[in-house]
Amino acid sequence: MVKKIRVLVAKPGLDGHDRGAKIVARALRDAGMEVVYTGLHQTAEQIVNTAMQEDVDVVGLSLLSGAHMTLFVDVAVLLKEKQMDDVLLIGGGIIPQEDVPRLKKAGIAEVFGPGTPVEEIVRYIKKNVKR
Amino acid sequence: MTDLAEKIIAGDHRSIARLITQVENNAPDAVETMKQIHPHTGQASIIGVTGVMGGGKSSLIFELALAYRTEGKKVGIIAIDPTSPFSGGALLGDRIRMTELSMDEGVFIRSMGTRGMMGGLTSSLYDVVEILDAAGMNVILIETVGVGQDEVDIVKIADTTLVVLVPGLGDSVQTIKAGLMEIADIFVVNKADKTGVEQTVAELESMLDLVNNQERRIPIVATSAKEKKGIQQLVVQIAEHQAYLKKSQTFEKRRRQRYEAELIEIIRKRLMDFIFDEKKLKTTVDCCIDQISKKELDPYSAADQILGKILK
C-alpha cells in the first residue's frame, strides 16, 4: 500500500495573481505529493466540491486581494458542514499578522506569509496531515 | 454488501472519491468493495481521449461533457497527468479547463497521476472506470497524458478512442507513422480556429486512403473547443461509432479485451506486491535455502515450488 499526500491548491475569489500558488504547487510536487491545481477565480463551494471529488488530504488557499477573512473562513465553514474536518486547511498570501489568530480560530490550521521558504510548507504538511 | 459499495451504487460522490483513493493506494480494503460493485457495471460508454501534448484534450473533454449534460447524461471524467519519475509527485492541472463543471452534480471529475505506469495511463484506471460505471455514469471520458507516438494503452479500456491532433504538426510523413495513428476510432483535428486545418485533414484523408480492407472508414472531425465548433458533429460521430460496434459485434470483443487487460493488471500487481514485499519474499525463500545447500533441492525446483504457492 502506497499512500501519497494529495493536495488541492486553490485560488478563491477575484484576485488574478497565481504565481505564488504555482510555485507552492511545484514545490509540493517536488516533495512527492500529488497536487491538484484549480486555476483562478474559484468560489468556496467549488473549492470544497473539488476537494471532495479529488479526496485530498490538504487544501491550500492562496489569496492576495485582502478578502481572506471572508473567503478563507467560507471554505473552513463549508468543510466543516460537509464533515470534511479531516482535511488539513492552510492558507497563504498577503495576510496581515493581526488577522492570523482569527483565521486560526475559524479553522485555518496555519497561515504562510510572503517570504516563507517552501520547505517550511512541505515540512508543515508532512507533520500535520490528518489522514 | 459493504456500506461503501451501497453508497457508490447509489451514486454518492464522496464514496466514489474514497474508493478511488483506496484503489490508487492499493489498499487491501478496496478489494471487497470492488468485488461487490462489479455486477453493477457495464452500462457506461467509455470514451478515451488521447493525442499530442498541448492538443487541447482537456478543453475538448469539457465541451463534450457539456454536450452530454444537455442530453441529460451523467458524466464521469478521469484526467491523467504524468507523475514525476524523480520525486514521485505530480501536478494535476486538467481541472483548470473544466471549472464550470465543478458544481454540476451530474459530473464527477477525478485527476490522477500515472504513478510509474507507462503507456499514458495509470494502473488503477481499470478500477476507477468500474467505480464510475457502477455509480451510474452514462459516459466516462478518459484523458490520457499527452502522448508521443506509441502510448496506445487506452485502446484496451475505451469503447471509442479519439485521437486528437492539431494543425501544423509536421508534413505528411508524420501521418503514416505507426502507433498512435493506428488506434483512432475517430480523428479529431482540434484548434480548427488556427490555420492549416484543411491541410492536416487532407493529409489524414490521404493516409486513410492507403488503408486496405476498410469496413469502416475512420471519420475525421475538425473541432475548435475555443470557438465551440464541431462538438455536436463529434458527439454524432461517437454515437455512430458505438452503434457500429454493437452492430458488428466488435463491442463485445472490446469489452472482453478490457477485462482481459484488467485481469492481467491485477495479477501483475499482486505478483509485484509479493516481489517487492522484501520481508515476505525473504521468509518464503529462506525455507528453501537449507534444502538447496544440502543438495536436497535444486534452485529451479525451489523456484517452481514457491511460484506454485503464490499462483495457487
Distance CA A103, CA A87 (A): 16
Tell me the pLDDT tens digit for each residue of B70-105.
999 999 999 999 898 889 999 998 899 898 898 999
What pLDDT shows up at residue A54? 97
A4 vs B contacts (CB less than 8 Å): 24-25, 88, 113, 115
pLDDT band at B175 (very low <50, low <70, confident <90, very high): low
DSSP category for residue B84: P
Pairing label, strands A88-93, A110-112: parallel
In B, residues 9-28, which contact A (CB 8 Å cutoff)?
A: 13-14, 16-18, 20-21, 24-28
What pLDDT shows up at residue B173? 45
Task: Please tell me which of the candidates B88, B99, B103 has its beta carbon nearest to residue A38.
Answer: B99
Within a domain: B35: no
Residue B217 has pLDDT above 50, yes or no: yes
Q: How many domains would you assign to chain B?
A: 2
Homologous superfamily of A6-128 = Cobalamin-binding domain (3.40.50.280)
Distance CA B160, CA B47 (A): 5
The string of DSSP codes covering B188-243 is: EE--TTSTTHHHHHHHHHHHHHT-SS-SSPPPEEE-BTTTTBSHHHHHHHHHHHHH
φ, ψ dihedrals at B230, nearest 5°: 80, -5
A71's grid cell: 473567503
Distance CA B31, CA B36 (A): 9
- Nearest residue in chain B measured CA to CA from A82: B14
**Alpha carbon of A101: minimum distance to chain B alpha carbons (Å):** 31
Mean pLDDT of B130-158: 88
Report CB contact under 8 Å: B87, A32.
yes
Residue A27 has pLDDT above 90, yes or no: yes
CB atoms within 10 A of CB B70: 9
pLDDT band at B55 (very low <50, low <70, confident <90, very high): confident
φ, ψ dihedrals at B92, nearest 5°: -105, 105
Mean pLDDT of chain B: 88
Within a domain: B294: yes
Residue B41 has pLDDT above 90, yes or no: yes
One domain for residues B192 and B55: yes
Tell me the pLDDT tens digit for each residue of A67-109.
888 899 999 999 999 999 899 999 999 989 999 999 999 999 9
φ, ψ dihedrals at A58, nearest 5°: -135, 140
The string of DSSP codes covering B258-308 is: HHHHHHHHHHHHHHHHHHH-HHHHHHHHHHHHHHHHTTSS-HHHHHHHHHH
B108 vs A contacts (CB less than 8 Å): 53
What pLDDT shows up at residue B237? 97
Within a domain: B91: yes
One domain for residues B179 and B222: yes
Distance CA B125, CA B78 (A): 8
Helix (H) or strand (E) holding A99: none
pLDDT band at B150 (very low <50, low <70, confident <90, very high): low
Reference B166, options B98, B226, B122, B115; nearest CA is B226
Chain-centre distance of CA B177, in angstroms?
22
Beta strands across the sheet bearing B139-143? B107-113, B75-81, B139-143, B45-51, B160-165, B186-189, B220-222
Reference A59, options A35, A95, A83, A39; nearest CA is A35
The domain boundary residue, chosen from B250, B267, B302: B250
- Nearest residue in chain B measured CA to CA from A5: B89
Mean pLDDT of B106-115: 94
One domain for residues B176 and B298: no
Within a domain: B260: no
What pLDDT shows up at residue B171? 57
Report CB contact under 8 Å: A46, B99.
yes
One domain for residues B80 and B227: yes
B159's grid cell: 469503447
Containing structural domain, residue B50: 40-250
Residue B147 has pLDDT above 80, yes or no: no
Residue A29 has pLDDT above 60, yes or no: yes
Distance CA B7, CA B128 (A): 15
pLDDT band at B215 (very low <50, low <70, confident <90, very high): confident
Distance CA A125, CA B149 (A): 38
Could you tell me the CATH number of the domain that includes residue B175? 3.40.50.300
Within a domain: B202: yes
Residue A99, chain B, CB below 8 Å: the answer is no
Distance CA B69, CA B73 (A): 5
The domain boundary residue, chosen from B212, B234, B250: B250
Residue B177 has pLDDT above 80, yes or no: no
- Any residues with CB less than 8 A from the CB of A125 and at least 6 apart, and which? A5, A7, A28, A33, A58, A88, A90
Distance CA A68, CA A97 (A): 12
One domain for residues B232 and B283: no
Distance CA B13, CA A130 (A): 21
pLDDT band at B286 (very low <50, low <70, confident <90, very high): confident
Chain B contact probe: residue of A49, A54, A118, A131 with most B CBs at under 10 A: A54
Longest dimension (CA), chain A: 43
Mean pLDDT of B185-208: 88
Residue A8 has pLDDT above 60, yes or no: yes
- Nearest residue in chain A measured CA to CA from B83: A34
One domain for residues B93 and B174: yes
Q: Using an 8 Å Cβ cutoff, are A38 and B99 in contact?
A: yes
One domain for residues B162 and B99: yes
Residue A22 has pLDDT above 70, yes or no: yes
The domain boundary residue, chosen from B204, B233, B250: B250
Tell me which of B213 and B241 has the higher pLDDT: B241
Distance CA B18, CA B33 (A): 11
Mean pLDDT of B276-292: 84
Mean pLDDT of A100-123: 93
Query: SS3 helix, strand, coil % of chain B, rounded to 5?
Result: 50, 15, 35
What pLDDT shows up at residue B59? 93
pLDDT band at B172 (very low <50, low <70, confident <90, very high): very low
Distance CA B234, CA B150 (A): 24
Distance CA B6, CA B76 (A): 18
B301 to B247, B288, B298: CA distances (angstroms): 51, 10, 6
pLDDT band at B213 (very low <50, low <70, confident <90, very high): low
